[in-house]
Amino acid sequence: MIQVCLNGRRGADVSAAVPLSPEALARSAAEAVAAGATDIHVHPRTPCGQDTLSPRVVAATLTAIRAAVRVPVGVTTGAWAEPDPRRRVERVREWSVLPDHASVNWHEPGAEELATALLERGVGVEAGLWSGTEGHRLFRRSPVAPRVLRVLAEVTDTDPATATGSARLLLAEVGTAHGRPVLLHGEDGGAWPVAALAFRLGLGTRIGAEDVTVLPDGRPARSNAELVTEAVRLRQASTARSGPRGPGQP
């Protein structure tokens, strides 16, 4: 599985690969899926570029993307989009157009209540477990955890020399993940090394302008599709070197 994260909190001033409007997100999604992405993660943004859980903006974003692709589309529920935990739950209950899934960062206040509200509405939950946080401990003892769609194991170590070690430590902390699938991904300098590790371990990964804006050789990416194309090549190279592996096989 290769999930493409179309934008994140980055702006167009950071990279030409970052789409902003619903129409631009839809075009980017279609190109990324054509390049090999099988799932989409997006941050709905206000016209002034702020992440938001606004029902109107979420609906416009999902409608535009779904008109362009036929793969699952998920959104963020990060605390930066709505700092008040109770208001985040209220926003989810106000959504008129539902995503296929939504990420919930388990170290953020109100994560279990938010995940429960999403599940009650039939929205899959991606449990975001960040390295360097208490997320994995909170998740392991959560009664909601066995019901999530998958775990997003997010490596926040951006040093390419140490990111894979941090990734292995995070996976050990996550453990069996209540039997849920694990998607492993990194950020910035750690994005490509962690993606390569994910492929070697038979795990899904994520790539796109939210996580990294350069190609493995350091050249600036021109689009999310270009990032996905490189991820597909990386997966092919990993498979060619090591042969097929089962999920989670080291």
Which pLDDT value is given to residue 250? 42
- A 10 A CB-CB count for 27 gives 18
Q: Give SS3 for 233.
A: helix
220 class by beta-carbon count within 10 Å (0-12 exposed, 13-18 middle, 19+ buried): exposed
Q: Residue type at 50?
A: Q
The secondary structure of 132-198 as a DSSP string is TSSHHHHHHT-TTGGGSSEEEEE-----TTTHHHHHHHHHHHHTTGGG--EEEE--GGGHHHHHHHH
Q: Do 88 and 58 meet the contact criterion of CB atoms below 8 Å apart? A: no
Return the percent helix, strand and coil in the chain, to nearest 5: 40, 15, 40
d(CA 185, CA 56): 30
Q: Do 164 and 197 meet the contact criterion of CB atoms below 8 Å apart? A: yes
pLDDT in tens, the chain (250 residues): 999 999 987 766 666 678 888 999 999 999 999 999 999 999 999 988 899 999 999 999 999 999 999 999 999 999 999 999 999 999 999 999 999 999 999 999 999 999 999 999 999 999 999 999 999 999 999 999 999 999 999 999 999 999 999 999 999 999 999 999 999 999 999 999 999 999 999 999 999 999 999 999 999 999 999 999 999 999 999 877 765 555 544 4
Residue closest to 186 by CA, chosen among 157, 215, 209 = 157
pTM of the entire predicted model: 0.92
